[in-house]
A and B are shown apart, each in its own frame.
Chain A
Amino acid sequence: QVQLQESGPGLVKPSQTLSLTCTVSGGSISSGGYYWSWIRQHPGKGLEWIGYIYYSGSTYYNPSLKSRVTISVDTSKNQFSLKLSSVTAADTAVYYCAGTRGYYDSSGYRNNWFDPWGQGTLVTVSS
């Protein structure tokens, strides 16, 4: 059974780059069938999808964050990573990584779902 675990600094200074890593266990990140996503949740708020990557390196980002986000994959370590640049206090959130199933059906409808999820890691942006 695939499991995910986020890791990285819990405190980042304003204007710096937030860097997180998600380690995948119980399965290969290269096995196909999954995209690998980052999702965040501001304190007391709802979920915000940041973006995802396929093991081949193809990425898709939330347009509202695209200019500051880079998601990369390291298949040798079975990990994928998030970098968010020029952070401000508004980037303080719990960051989750998640396995993602996604495909277009014969009618062109997108079918996406997130399972499993990591436990999440709180990142605070403060000086």
Chain B
Amino acid sequence: QSVLTQPPSVSAAPGQKVTISCSGSSSNIGNNYVSWYQQLPGTAPKLLIYENNKRPSGIPDRFSGSKSGTSATLGITGLQTGDEADYYCGTWDSSLSAGGEVFGTGTKVTVL
């Protein structure tokens, strides 16, 4: 089971905003950087955010990331039907038992 907890689903109407939380601990989010991935149905994940809040080239500024303490948040504004996907957070876990990269449980975004 994942050490990073995300809500199973979030939804909003087109044009609205959604936020996705990613909750961890001091051994992971609290002392390492967070990245976020979008997985459209039937496709491979795609990098959305790295280094907590940076967007790769080509990712619109409708997507934003932030981190506070042992939690991180992905925000999506101006929601579009094409944003319907699963979203995962990821970070490094420094604990002996989980050492290495860990991912969140995933959140399904539905555009109403």
Contact = CB atoms under 8 A, between A and B. Distances in A.
Nearest to B51: A111
A117 B46 contact: yes
The binding surface of chain A is classed by DSSP as: strand
Nearest to A61: B100
Contacts of A108: 31
A115 B91 CA distance: 14
Contacts of B47: 113-116
B12 interface: no
Contacts, number: 78
Interface string A15-30: 0000000000000000
Interface in B20-52: 31-33, 35, 37, 43-47, 50-51
A47 interface: yes
Interface string B76-98: 00000000000010111010111
B66 to A, nearest CB: 16
A113 B100 contact: no
A47 B88 contact: yes
A25 to B, nearest CB: 16
Contacts of B56: 115
B103 A46 contact: yes
Given A115-B56, A119-B44, A110 B94 contact: yes
A102 B105 CA distance: 22
Interface in A53-105: 60-63, 96, 101-102, 105
Interface of B: 2, 31-33, 35, 37, 43-47, 50-51, 56, 88, 90-92, 94, 96-106
Interface of A: 37, 46-49, 51, 60-63, 96, 101-102, 105, 108-120
